Chain A
Amino acid sequence: MRAKHDFDMVMGAQAVFRLLLDSLANPGRQAGIARYEGQFKRCGRWLAPAITLLDNETGFYWNGDPDVADEICFLTGSSLASLDRADFVFLPEPADPGEILRSVKPGSDEDPHDSAMIIAGTGGRPGANATLRGPGIPPEGRDVPFSTAERAWLEARDEQGYEYPCGVELVFFRDGGEILSVTRKVAIRWAM
């Protein structure tokens, strides 16, 4: 019998989860996920976190190749969902941040955990530096260079004006196989 992927569904998923946990616990700090790319025939950078996070209790939104969405459904038992119902929003293709953020679920004051996590591919030109402050970040702040696409996401998030504890988590997948997260409580100040 030949395995369809080389990804270890137990130890690989554990390792990817720890990367995500570390990333969300330390917003603005990069974590490498590139090593899992080659463990799938294609789209490993998306399949690895999908397998780690999704199951039949979750719904996900996908704006990329429909065959990959089918693969995710097959591997996880999860199903595609509309933006306003999706627990996880995977965006391998460019998307309008404002439109996405207006549609996804931000949770409620009583159930802020019932909110979306947006995982967006954000390659492209270097944009601007910003200083992040908030939980997970040392008191002096964390200076992070963001691409233009990431800046668009973060500005759209601030424009959306979620009132904490409502909000969404943003996980950026960068071209070099790195992930970087910004959680809902993190404040962003752009360098002039």
Chain B
Amino acid sequence: MKDFNFAFLDEGSKRAIRRALLKAVAIPGYQVPFGSRELPIGRGWGTGGIQVTLAIIGDGDVLKVMDQGSDDSVNAISIRNFVMACTGVRTTTDSEAATLIQSRHRIPEIPMRNDQILVLQVPLPEPLRMTEELESVTKKMHAEMDYAIMWLALYENIVRVGEIELGADYPVMVEGRYIMAPSPIPRFDNPKLHMSETLCLFGAGREKKIYALPPYTDVRSLCFEDHPFRVEDMSGRVCHLCGARDVYMDEFFDSASGDRLFQCSDSGYCEKRRRAASHE
């Protein structure tokens, strides 16, 4: 703590990121460019989310870091230890106890509240990149709300294979104005963004973009009238640890028995359920 500033970043860097965050909140779904800073972590390992977290975190916050739903992955532990080391904040694995949650590729199963903030790490913030490689062109497309090429790509996908093949990072329309990449969360989590009570902040460190969804923002997954959006089918799957149903599951294969096992992807949620069950 003594060797560097609170929350690692210098105050000038925080100020620049904070200004970008305020603009992002004011223009939901719009990608605000920012001067992404160097961190003691390689770009592509969550530096966008970390910079957002470091710019907003205060000594009264309680932090949860999750990676693909897990509190225990190397990425989650490394980020949590780093933020703890340079802020001294308390941490938790309980999403309900956290005031600030940084996540890679998942939104917690328990709906978040208005007094919480969700920070999502974003590898590719530009949803139009799959159809157009030039940043100058995609920027103009967003400006003119010219999303025909995106709709065409989705339509061609349906013509070719009968459905929209996109899994994670399924694009959404924000407030009927901007197409936005929700970060590589599974389609299962897309509906959680619609009218969420929580402020969601998205940081893309390598691509130097920040964007946001204020609470109660209209967020619709792209689809056609005759090809409605659908989430991954989790019906019939039961967590082998806590017995949960209707949540996003990871699938495991037991090579000895040949059994397929399912387990809650959100490890904090699963742990909380097991703890509650053991107290009953």
Total interface residues on A, CB under 8 Å, equals: 39
Among B6, B18, B212, point to the contact of A11 (Cβ < 8 A): B6
Q: Does A89 contact B (CB under 8 A)?
A: no
Interface residues on B, range: 35 or more
A169 neighbours in B (Cβ, 8 Å): 22, 26
Among B6, B14, B20, B214, point to the contact of A25 (Cβ < 8 A): B214
Q: Does B226 contact A (CB under 8 A)?
A: no
Q: How many A-B residue pairs have CB under 8 A?
A: 106
B14 neighbours in A (Cβ, 8 Å): 13-14
Within 8 A of A (CB), among B81-113: none
Q: Is there contact, CB below 8 Å, between A58 and B139?
A: no
The answer for the CA separation of A13 and B212 in the assembled complex, in Å, is 21
The residue in chain A whose Cβ has the minimal distance to the Cβ of B218 is A135
Q: Does B274 contact A (CB under 8 A)?
A: no
Q: Is there contact, CB below 8 Å, between B58 and A15?
A: yes
The residue in chain A whose Cβ has the minimal distance to the Cβ of B17 is A17
Q: Is there contact, CB below 8 Å, between B20 and A55?
A: no
Within 8 A of A (CB), among B182-221: 195, 199, 212-218
CB of B28, distance to nearest CB on chain A (Å): 5
Chain B positions within 8 Å of A, measured between CB atoms, are 5-7, 11-12, 14-16, 18-28, 30, 32-33, 55-59, 114, 139-140, 142-144, 175, 177-178, 195, 199, 212-218
Selected A-B contacts with CB under 8 Å, 19 pairs:
A10-B6, A13-B14, A14-B56, A15-B58, A17-B55, A20-B22, A21-B18, A24-B26, A26-B114, A52-B18, A53-B22, A54-B15, A109-B144, A134-B175, A135-B213, A135-B214, A136-B25, A136-B214, A185-B28
